[in-house]
Amino acid sequence: MSIILQRIYEKSDEPGYRVLVDLVWPRGISKKAAELDDWAKEITPTSALRKWFNHDPEKFADFKAAYKKELLHDDAKLKKLAELQELQKQQPLILLYAAKDKKHNHALILKEVLESRLPK
């Protein structure tokens, strides 16, 4: 199946397992309107990394390396990533995020990691 990235503010009728991948609940979105299947807080960047990055495109390459390191060296994060990989084998996985910048955000990195082979 596929992994779809979508801003939570954009309406879509795309079928699939809907996962919010932000640590903070997005402003202006009700839980009912979000129609989530899961809120995967455990695989979001740490607060320190998120604040350091601050959506600065010039820091994206360093942010990507640091975030991948966080994801791939934490047992709880790896467990959740493996769970999501299994789910996407049966249905599309829709990763929902709030960031305005569609080219420099952590959801892109998550998608890349989910499409790769995870360490055992």
Instruction: Please tell me the pTM assigned to this model.
Output: 0.92
Q: How far apart are CA 81 and CA 109, in angstroms?
A: 12
- The answer on pLDDT for 70 being more than 80 is yes
Rounded to an integer, the average pLDDT of 12-26 is 93
**Overall size of the chain counted in residues:** 120
Mean pLDDT computed over every residue of the chain: 93
Closest CA relative to residue 20, chosen from 8, 3, 11, 4: 8
Domain ranges within the chain, ordered by starting residue: 3-114
Radius of gyration, alpha carbons of the chain: 14
Cα-based angle 13, 17, 18 (whole degrees, multiple of 5): 70
Q: How many percent of the chain have pLDDT more than 70?
A: 99
Greatest alpha-carbon span in the chain: 39
- The answer on pLDDT for 110 being more than 80 is yes
